[in-house]
């Protein structure tokens, strides 16, 4: 096996480029040629290939986004399209494909494995951190940093005007960014999908009212995961405003959480996983994800990464829930 291919697929995440660099450098040291296909699975099907050489990797790992570009390509679910991708990979003499992406991308990789005999290695690249089998994913730490910085900024202006803010963070259907950003941003409340039971609107409103009464000059920040509230954060802000009589401002952070230079933690993780992926190929691994558990690189069967839900760290949930409790007793009328 002399040639490997790389794609970045699905939602881009800061650190993907550092991962590509590590793959290319490690492959070069082991006399493997690397080609990249642009735009994820679509690029394989349409044969949008480019050579990736060590010299191309200068000034790459510092950049957010992905130099290989990404895409959503639902057509890949069709057998005939996946077969077409297998044909293109064979035409290039590719022996192994590395897919940097999230759970959708790994579903795609498992689908491709039905039609293609080469080795397929997944690397967890998603800001959402919602893949089982790995403690963290490429881009998550940077996204949390970005959300925290945004919360800090909103906190300053909210504090100046004693305002209530609902700050919506990403996470698709997982609360990892929400939990970590809530703790780091010292949020007064947190709404993430994993909470059991979910806080009721009346409880949230009651808490805001009591906080306003006890600390009328203070800001109040609720971190809310996207896709959580029917009608979205605007609707929730409106409902809370109506219930409390206090204007509640909605601040969706949106795609700024996806962009930006990867932080040191994400660059180091990306390079570790990228190098290990090439070593895994040389060792003959197939259809696995390279993850990290308690500082150790691990290999996990690809299908196990998306068939199981990854729970939040309960110790961190308890930390946030404990810290956001306000003792109103002394101020209560």
Q: What are phi and psi of 150, to 5 degrees?
A: -65, -40
Name, in order, each residue with C-beta under 8 angstroms of 319's C-beta and a sequence gap of 6 or more: 183
Asked if 20 and 60 count as a contact pair (C-beta separation under 8 A), the reply is yes
Nearer to ligand ADP, 77 or 153 (CB): 77
Active-site positions? Answer: 128
Q: Buried (b) or exposed (e) across 229-267, using 16+ Cβ within 10 A?
A: beeebeebbebbbebbebebbbbbbeeebbebebbeebb
Applying CB under 6 A, which of residues 77, 153, 213, 238 lies at the interface with ligand ADP?
77
Stretch that binds ligand ADP, among 74-82, 133-141, 188-196, 235-243 (CB under 6 A): 74-82
Site map (CB under 6 A) of ligand ADP, residues 26-55, x = contact? --------------xx--------------
Stretch that binds ligand ADP, among 7-15, 27-35, 206-214, 312-320 (CB under 6 A): 7-15
Nearer to ligand ADP, 108 or 262 (CB): 108
Query: Strand pairing of 96-101 and 49-51?
Result: unpaired
Applying CB under 6 A, which of residues 27, 44, 73, 194 lies at the interface with ligand ADP?
73
Applying CB under 6 A, which of residues 36, 64, 102, 171 lies at the interface with ligand ADP?
102
Nearer to ligand ADP, 111 or 180 (CB): 111
Applying CB under 6 A, which of residues 63, 72, 209, 279 lies at the interface with ligand ADP?
72
Stretch that binds ligand ADP, among 66-74, 84-92, 249-257, 320-328 (CB under 6 A): 66-74
Query: Strand pairing of 96-101 and 248-252?
Result: unpaired
Stretch that binds ligand ADP, among 46-54, 97-105, 272-280, 314-322 (CB under 6 A): 97-105
With CA atoms as reference, report the closest residue to 42 among 8, 4, 2, 91: 8
- Positions 104 through 133 that interact with ligand ADP (CB under 6 A): 104-105, 107-108, 111, 126
In angstroms, give the least distance from the CB of 289 to ligand ADP: 12
In angstroms, give the least distance from the CB of 156 to ligand ADP: 33
In angstroms, give the least distance from the CB of 139 to ligand ADP: 10
Rg (the chain; Cα; Å): 22
Stretch that binds ligand ADP, among 72-80, 211-219, 224-232, 275-283 (CB under 6 A): 72-80
Nearer to ligand ADP, 154 or 289 (CB): 289
State yes or no: residue 74 binds ligand ADP (CB under 6 A): yes
Distance between CA atoms of residues 257 and 99, nearest Å: 22
| DSSP H or E run through 252 | strand 248-252
With CA atoms as reference, report the closest residue to 285 among 297, 296, 295: 297
Asked if 125 and 102 count as a contact pair (C-beta separation under 8 A), the reply is yes
Query: Strand pairing of 119-124 and 96-101?
Result: parallel
What ranges in the chain are assigned the alpha helix state H? 16-29, 41-45, 79-91, 103-113, 140-161, 176-184, 201-214, 232-244, 264-282, 302-307, 314-323
Q: Is 161 helix (H, G, I), strand (E, B) or coil?
A: helix
- Positions 237 through 296 that interact with ligand ADP (CB under 6 A): none
In angstroms, give the least distance from the CB of 120 to ligand ADP: 12
Q: How many residues bind ligand ADP (CB under 6 A)?
A: 19
Asked if 292 and 95 count as a contact pair (C-beta separation under 8 A), the reply is no
Residue in the shown chain whose Cβ atom is closest to ligand ADP: 104
Applying CB under 6 A, which of residues 8, 84, 103, 140 lies at the interface with ligand ADP?
103
Which residues contact ligand ADP by CB under 6 A? 9-11, 40-41, 72-74, 76-77, 101-105, 107-108, 111, 126
């Amino acid at each position: 096996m002399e040639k490997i291919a790389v794609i970045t697929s699905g939602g881009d995440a800061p650190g993907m480029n550092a991962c590509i660099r590590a793959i290319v450098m490690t492959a070069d040291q082991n006399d493997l040629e690397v080609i990249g296909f642009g735009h994820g699975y679509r690029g394989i099907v349409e044969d949008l290939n480019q050579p990736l050489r060590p010299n191309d990797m200068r000034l790459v790992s510092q950049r957010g986004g992905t130099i290989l570009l990404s895409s959503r390509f639902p057509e890949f679910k069709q057998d005939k399209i996946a077969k077409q991708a297998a044909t293109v990979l064979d035409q290039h003499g590719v022996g192994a494909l590395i897919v940097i992406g999230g759970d959708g991308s790994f579903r795609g990789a498992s689908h491709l494995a039905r039609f293609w005999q080469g080795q397929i290695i997944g690397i967890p690249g998603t800001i959402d951190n919602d893949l089982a089998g790995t403690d963290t994913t490429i881009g998550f730490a940077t996204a949390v940093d970005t959300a925290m910085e945004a919360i800090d900024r909103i906190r300053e202006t909210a504090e100046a005007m004693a305002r209530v803010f609902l700050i919506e963070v990403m996470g698709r259907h997982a609360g990892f960014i929400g939990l970590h950003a809530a703790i780091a941003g010292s949020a007064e409340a947190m709404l993430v999908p994993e909470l059991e039971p979910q806080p009721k609107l009346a409880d949230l409103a009651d808490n805001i009212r009591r906080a306003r009464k006890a600390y009328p000059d203070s800001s109040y920040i609720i971190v809310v995961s996207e896709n959580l509230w029917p009608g979205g954060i605007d609707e929730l802000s409106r409902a809370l405003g109506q219930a409390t009589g206090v204007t509640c401002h909605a601040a969706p952070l949106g795609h700024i959480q996806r962009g930006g230079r990867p932080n040191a933690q994400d660059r180091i993780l990306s390079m570790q996983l990228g190098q290990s992926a090439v070593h895994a190929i040389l060792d003959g691994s197939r259809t696995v994800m390279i993850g990290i558990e308690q500082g150790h690189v691990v290999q996990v069967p690809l299908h196990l990464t998306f068939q199981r839900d990854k729970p939040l760290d309960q110790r961190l949930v308890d930390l946030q829930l404990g810290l956001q409790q306000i003792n109103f007793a002394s101020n209560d009328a």
